[in-house]
Amino acid sequence: MSDVFAPLELFAGCKPDDLERIGRAVRRVRQVAEGEVICAAGDVADRWWVVTDGVADVTVDGLYMASIGPGESIGEMALLDGSPRAADVIAHTDMVLHEVDGAAFLDGLAQSPELALGLPRELAGRLRAANERARRPAPPPAAARSGQQARGTAPARVEFDPFAPGYFTDPSVQLGAIREAEPVHFNALTGGYLVTRYDDVHRLIRDRSLEASIEHAASTPTVDAEKQQARESPVGLMMVRRDGEDHLRLRRLVSKAFTPRAIGQLQHTAEVIAQRLLAEAAERDAIAVIADYALPLPVEVISTMLGLPPGDFDQLRSWSHDMAKVADPIYTPEEGEAALVAGQAMGAYLAEVIAYKRTHPGDDILSALIVAEEGGDRLSFDELMAQLVLLYVAGHETTVNLIGNGLTHVFERPDQLERWRLDPGLDSNAIEEVLRFDSPAQLARRIVASPTEVAGHTVPAGAVIWLGLAAANHDPRQWGPTADELDLARPGANEHVSFGGGAHHCLGAFLARMEGQVALPALIRRFPRMAPAYSEPAWAPRMLLRGVETLPVTLR
């Protein structure tokens, strides 16, 4: 049992015998389903939990505060200082917890010569006091949610058309009309079914009977084009396009680097990068936020995590930019050719880096993947290449869009910008609300293996389902009448589906959250007079990955 407690900072320095004594307080291994309340504010603290697998969200008065994952603990602070629970902790995914009996734990802790009980009590009190200072009065409760539509004539059918004027300026207008008119929308343009209501998207994104591999999809022009792309590039071998044991095997190899705890250890690195970029910006009167700040920060972080040479960031970004365009279900032949050329160039570059890392390993994800490959974990060279491309592209694209989208929208709402600037207690929840309000990933794709019922409609086997993440995030059935408003103090903002869910829940979700929480608050507080230097936002014309291409601002 000592291996459960040894990683916890609370027991740093304890001997194995002490950990075993404390471990005898474990009453059971608890399986927790997604959405289950682990503990609630005001509860009596008589137990606590160590996370073995899965992730939980922590909220105070409905505001998102943090996430807790493997190697971290839940609820020991209230137990140590003898106070009721201060926060709600709810399982964000299915979880495995070691549940520790409170009384037996305190008895065992008191017998440990390495860690006097008075020290954690004092620490717990200080942390609780800091938490109380950070709390803000809860905002007025949102209007009651309702799944009922207004009486009267049913909304007219609207055809999904991303090329319609104004779509890229505000997709929520068209997507909202589709959501209210029909819950399952067949679209001839993509040859797939678009699902837009929150409950349906939330369920289907977690439905393990749906598949990610395009190989099982029935033939359409869009499907055939993706199959051809998968044969000519690493796309088909990426974990996001694999199912079952193949997907789990690939995900296991890199998942430890993306847990909340691991990402928390990277936060200082991100803060140092952000402060350097802001210091460089302070020497000028104006900057391009995307090129000068939103892009360099996550690119440096993911490159460091992967162990890629720092001098190659610009070239890697150029290749990544070209490859990301074909993530959309519709792209031009020129974009497809550019993506193929970029993929080949990036593949040749990574092959050289892999060869170097074989003889010069480091403490990075790439070195770990190489060891896994050579250790007989069935990771082929092509699979290794595919995961590196995926991790690099996905590891910064979401954050760039999160920063750019967030700043664009608070510029349009000066009251929200000023509220955020003056209230650091909003930082975590504000990022969740930005993710909800304008999701960096607008759609998620799944393949129907067998006929599937969705809102009274039967979707045939082999069909492509497009899960409307952005549309679901604006569904008034979930978010009430203020669903189309940006409210940085919105209770339950973290219930968005922007990172997907289930087996394919975004691996980089905690990385994007952390970088957003570092980047945006630091920027808006460093330059309180910052203002947009454009007349209209320059939204990229992309269906899947949404973000502004340029974001010029004045700083003084």
Q: Which residues lie below 8 Å from residue 231, measured CB to CB, with a gap of 6+?
A: none
Question: Which class does domain 2-134 fall in?
Answer: mainly beta
Rounded distance, CA 373 to CA 475, Å?
A: 44
**How far is the C-alpha of 123 from the C-alpha of 81, rounded, in Å?**
9
Q: For the segment 250-279, what is each residue's pLDDT rounded down to a tens digit? A: 888 888 888 998 899 899 999 999 999 999
Name the token pair of 44: 């009596």
CB 551 within 8 A of CB 289: yes
Query: Would you call 210 helix, strand, or coil by DSSP?
Result: strand
Question: Taking all residues of the chain, what is their mean pLDDT, rounded to a whole number?
Answer: 87
> What residue spans define the domains of the chain?
2-134, 171-554
**120/10 Cα distance (integer angstroms):** 8
Measured between its terminal Cα atoms, the distance across the chain in Å is 57
Task: Classify residue 125 by burial, with Cβ atoms within 10 Å: 0-12, 13-18, 19+.
Answer: middle
Least reliable range by pLDDT among 66-70, 81-85, 423-427, 457-461: 81-85
User: So what's the pLDDT on residue 185?
Assistant: 96
Supply the DSSP symbol for 11: G
Q: Checking DSSP bridges between strand 464-468 and strand 192-195, what pairing results, if any?
A: parallel
Token pair of 218 as six digits: 């029935």
Cα 322 to chain centroid distance, Å, stands at 22
pLDDT-based confidence at residue 324 (cuts at 50, 70, 90): confident
Taking the C-alpha atoms of residue 504 and residue 395, their distance in angstroms, rounded to an integer, is: 15
pLDDT over 50 at 118, yes or no: no
Greater pLDDT, 268 or 332: 268
Residue 60 pLDDT > 80: yes
Confidence check: pLDDT of 213 > 70: yes
d(CA 267, CA 265): 6
Cα(429)–Cα(94) distance, rounded to whole angstroms? 22
Query: Which pLDDT score is estimated for 206?
Result: 94
User: In terms of pLDDT, which residue wins out, 76 or 85?
Assistant: 85
Length of the chain: 556
Nearest to 546 by CA among 336, 406, 343, 339: 406
Residue % of the chain over a pLDDT of 70: 90
Tell me the pLDDT band of 386, cut-offs 50, 70 and 90. Answer: confident
Phi, then psi, of 420 in degrees rounded to 5:
-65, -45
Q: How confident is the model at residue 87 (pLDDT cuts 50, 70, 90)?
A: very high
How far apart CA 36 and CA 20 sit, in angstroms, is 29
> 171-554 architecture in CATH?
Orthogonal Bundle (1.10)
CA distance 275 to 192: 45
Q: At what angle do helices 333-359 and 221-232 cross, to 10 degrees?
A: 30
Sign of torsion, CA 158 401 197 486? negative
Quick check: 186 and 459 in contact, CB under 8 A? no
Fold match flag (2-134 vs 171-554):
no
Q: In the structure encoding, which two tokens stand for residue 415, read together? A: 């009251």
Cα separation, 155 vs 254, in Å, equals 46
Q: Which helix (H) or strand (E) holds 468?
A: strand 464-468
pLDDT at residue number 369: 86
The pLDDT of residue 115 is: 57
- Dihedrals phi, psi of 113, to nearest 5 degrees: -70, -15
Residue 459 neighbours by CB under 8 Å, 6+ apart: 184, 193, 448, 451, 452, 453, 465
Strand partners, 51: 97
Nearest to 69 by CA among 219, 217, 260, 221: 260
What are the backbone angles phi and psi of residue 383, rounded to the nearest 5°? -65, -40
Calpha distance 101→47 (Å, rounded): 5
Please tell me the predicted confidence (pLDDT) of residue 137: 41
| 97 closest CA partner among 118, 120, 134, 68 | 68
pTM to 2 decimals?
0.89
* Residues near 291 by beta carbon (within 8 Å), at least 6 away in sequence: 550
Q: What is the reported pLDDT for 246? A: 87
Handedness of CA 174, 180, 182, 185 (dihedral sign): positive
